[in-house]
């Protein structure tokens, strides 16, 4: 199948081609957690790059619960005009522009000074790096209901601002993913125990979001194909959750994998059944897509047109690209013009995996921040230098966040 063939979604909307700019965390909001001019410049580059779908990085449903400082939050109509500007920029090239909605749960940095919420009091286990994250407090019924309401409110605001859809983030070890995993969800009430109970929050959020927006507004879900942790959420669990999601009016299902503890989304923690480096969730996703009634998108390590074609030929409807588009934002346009481009960042093979994961994210963000200033990317940047620059930037943004929040 041609990557440049249109994709018809269940709600009647059409995406211009089969390639999506996958979500990446940018940390480019202003001190009020709303899109800054730098973020608009970054999305202008992607809008000009001709991907059929652009997904934002994390937009948080609660400014007290951020994946990191400098992130965007959308809680109410304050500053909605800035979100309208963001939507106009993202849609300028004709792409669909969807807002990824998220709550970090226990994956909340301790130095932000906020109380982390989680299904259970299970802290992150990252060895000596564990203390970087706040000790989580188990959520009570009111906390859970508030999270459901917030997802729905943020989705409605995204539609009002001019976005064409939202993606509910239930992967990568964030809150909804934490409820799905028996390792992090040890509850004994209706939100824990059986997989049906553990999936209840995700299904409740999807239902609330769908009710809060119009039928033509796209609603998608990002789900782990597996957490890549022994005893955690696995492919069999994912298969069953997909069957439940089949009963919901969902327009696209993105399959990924991993968490902060097992960062498979960066291409380093793959199990034996997956492909080598590019599209490393493809084999597992192909198995899961066979039970999905909605179109399925796969994200993870894709950087060559031949791999995109392989993904689509396997029965997957859409290929999501992250890092390669951070290096070369016009990649899809170049492919359409016949250029054989395959941007790549040098692999980081540090022995301390948590530090290597931080460095990998820092190298990607280094590219994003250059694009946000109208500069060319530097894929050859030293991982150590990128990590130092990122830690200094995050430190500055953390101080600003704590000051804004009165911490």
Q: What is the pLDDT of residues 114-163, one digit of tens each?
A: 999 999 999 998 888 889 899 999 999 999 999 999 999 999 999 999 99
Q: Which residues contact 45 (CB under 8 A, 6 or more apart)?
A: 329, 330, 371
User: Quick one: tokens of 50?
Assistant: 């001709």
pLDDT for residue 333 is more than 50: yes
pLDDT for residue 267 is more than 60: no
| DSSP letters spanning 169-193 | EE-TTSHHHHHH-TTT----STTSS
SS3 142: helix
Q: Kindly indicate the confidence band of residue 263, based on its pLDDT and cuts at 50, 70 and 90.
A: low
Interval 201-223: pLDDT, tens = 999 999 999 999 999 999 999 99
pLDDT for residue 276 is more than 50: no
- What's the CA gap between 283 and 275, in Å, rounded? 7
Mean pLDDT, residues 344-368 taken together? 91
Angle formed by the axes of helices 37-47 and 80-91, to 10°? 20
Chain centre distance of CA 26: 11
SS3 384: helix
- Work out the mean pLDDT of the chain and round it to a whole number: 92
Task: Count Cα atoms within 13 angstroms, Cβ side, for 90.
Answer: 26
pLDDT score at 126: 84
pLDDT score at 256: 85
pLDDT score at 272: 37
Mean pLDDT, residues 49-78 taken together? 97
397 and 70 Cβ atoms separated by less than 8 Å: yes
208 and 198 Cβ atoms separated by less than 8 Å: no
Mean pLDDT, residues 1-14 taken together? 96
E-strand stretches of 230-321: 252-257, 296-299, 318-321
pLDDT score at 275: 36
Which of 236, 234, 259, 142 has the alpha carbon at shortest distance from 191? 142
- Integer CA distances (angstroms), 143 to 39, 123, 277, in order: 31, 18, 40
pLDDT score at 277: 41
Q: Kindly indicate the confidence band of residue 281, based on its pLDDT and cuts at 50, 70 and 90.
A: low
Q: Which residues contact 122 (CB under 8 A, 6 or more apart)?
A: 106, 136, 183, 184, 186
pLDDT for residue 268 is more than 70: no
Q: Which residues contact 144 (CB under 8 A, 6 or more apart)?
A: 191, 201
- What's the CA gap between 130 and 139, in Å, rounded? 21
Q: pTM of the entire structure?
A: 0.94
User: Quick one: tokens of 337?
Assistant: 């013009």
199 burial (CB, 10 Å; 0-12 / 13-18 / 19+) is: buried
Q: Which residues contact 157 (CB under 8 A, 6 or more apart)?
A: 74, 76, 77, 80, 83
* CATH H-level, domain 7-345: superfamily: Aldolase class I (3.20.20.70)
The percent of residues in the chain predicted with pLDDT above 90, rounded, is 81
Euclidean distance between the first and final Cα of the chain, in Å?
Answer: 53
pLDDT score at 266: 45
The percent of residues in the chain predicted with pLDDT above 70, rounded, is 95
Residue 403, Cβ neighbours under 10 Å: how many?
10
pLDDT score at 269: 36
Q: Kindly indicate the confidence band of residue 402, based on its pLDDT and cuts at 50, 70 and 90.
A: very high
pLDDT score at 128: 83
Helices (H), 125-174: 141-161
pLDDT for residue 328 is more than 60: yes
pLDDT score at 176: 98
30 and 70 Cβ atoms separated by less than 8 Å: no
Given the DSSP bridges, would you call strands 19-21 and 53-55 parallel, antiparallel or unpaired?
parallel
pLDDT score at 280: 53
Mean pLDDT, residues 295-311 taken together? 91
User: Quick one: tokens of 241?
Assistant: 């959750």
Interval 172-201: pLDDT, tens = 999 999 999 999 999 999 999 999 999 999
Chain centre distance of CA 239: 20
């Amino acid at each position: 199948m041609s990557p440049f063939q249109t994709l018809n979604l269940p709600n009647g909307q059409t995406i211009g081609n089969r390639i999506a700019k996958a979500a990446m965390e940018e940390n480019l909001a202003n001190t009020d957690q709303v899109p800054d001019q730098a973020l608009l410049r970054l999305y202008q580059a992607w809008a000009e790059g001709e991907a059929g779908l652009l997904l934002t990085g994390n937009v948080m449903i609660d400014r007290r619960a951020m994946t990191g400082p400098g992130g965007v939050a959308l809680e109410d109509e304050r500053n909605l005009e800035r979100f309208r500007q963001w939507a106009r920029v993202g849609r300028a090239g004709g792409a669909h522009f969807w807002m990824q909605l998220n709550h970090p749960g226990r994956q909340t940095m301790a130095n932000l000074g906020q109380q982390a919420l989680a299904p259970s009091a299970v802290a992150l286990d990252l060895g000596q790096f564990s203390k970087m994250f706040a000790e989580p407090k188990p959520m009570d019924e009111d906390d859970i209901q508030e999270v459901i309401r917030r997802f729905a409110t943020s989705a409605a605001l995204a539609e009002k601002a001019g976005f064409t859809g939202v993606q509910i983030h239930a992967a990568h070890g964030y809150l909804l993913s934490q409820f799905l995993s028996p390792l992090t969800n040890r509850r004994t009430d209706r939100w824990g125990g059986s997989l049906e109970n553990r999936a209840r929050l995700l299904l409740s959020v999807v239902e609330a979001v769908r009710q809060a927006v119009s039928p033509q507004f796209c609603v998608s879900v990002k789900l782990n194909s597996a957490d890549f942790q022994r005893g955690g959420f696995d492919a069999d669990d994912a298969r069953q959750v997909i069957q439940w999601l089949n009963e919901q009016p969902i327009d696209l299902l993105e399959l990924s994998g991993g968490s902060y503890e097992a960062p498979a989304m960066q291409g380093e923690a793959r199990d034996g059944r997956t492909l080598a480096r590019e599209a490393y969730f493809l084999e597992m996703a192909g198995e899961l897509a066979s039970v999905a009634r909605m179109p399925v998108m796969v994200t993870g390590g894709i950087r060559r047109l031949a791999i995109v074609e392989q993904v689509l030929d396997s029965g997957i409807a859409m290929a999501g690209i992250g890092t390669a588009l951070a290096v070369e934002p016009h990649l899809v346009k170049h492919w359409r013009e016949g250029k054989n481009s395959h941007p790549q960042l040098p692999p980081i093979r540090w022995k301390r995996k948590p530090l290597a994961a931080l460095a990998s994210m820092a190298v990607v963000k280094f590219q994003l921040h250059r694009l946000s200033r109208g500069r060319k990317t530097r894929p050859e940047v030293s991982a150590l230098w990128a990590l130092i620059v990122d830690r200094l930037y995050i430190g500055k943004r953390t101080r600003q966040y704590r000051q804004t929040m009165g911490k």
